[in-house]
Amino acid sequence: MNETFISVDIEASGPVPGEFSMLSVGACLVYEPTETFERVLKPITMNFDPEALAVTGFDLDQLTRSGQTPEECMRAFADWLQAIVPSGSKPVFVGLNAAFDWSFINYYFIKFLGVNPFGFAPLDIKAMYMGLFGCAWKDTKSSLMSNALNAELQGNHNALIDAVFQAELFRLVHKKSTIQKRD
């Protein structure tokens, strides 16, 4: 089966899905990053971690009025995946600290649609990088990776911009691993 790599980033009001809300989601095809998906969501709870909320720049009251319902968002995301992923290919969730972002995506897909199109195994760029370069976990910060890989983009805690940045990091790590494998 072919695989289609999808870079996904989320912004949330805290560290745990269900207790806190996913506030935005951004995604792009890793190898065609102009093919994008982006939504801002209504919170499912008004719980928040002040630091997490400050990083997002969102206001929960405003999102309650202007955000898309989680059901609508996840249906639109599933529809986008179905339209963008070729027949016979499996979407692979790619993230930077994938466990965090995937936990929210998985929770929301299961809670609101009953199924997660990505399945249960996200691909983590930080772990790939650590394995390839033999570095310490502390050396897998996006800023350090970006410098070491000569990335052109930067993240800024906007889910779509971060997803596109992550896609670049994945491509650079993957290219480097392919070159090393040939040598």
Active site residues: 157
Distances 180 to 99, 133, 154 between C-alpha atoms, Å: 27, 10, 25
In our burial notation (b when 16+ CB lie closer than 10 A, e otherwise), range 39-51 reads bbbbbbeeebeee
Q: Which two tokens stand for residue 69?
A: 């319902």
Q: C-alpha angle 67/156/76, rounded to 5°?
A: 35
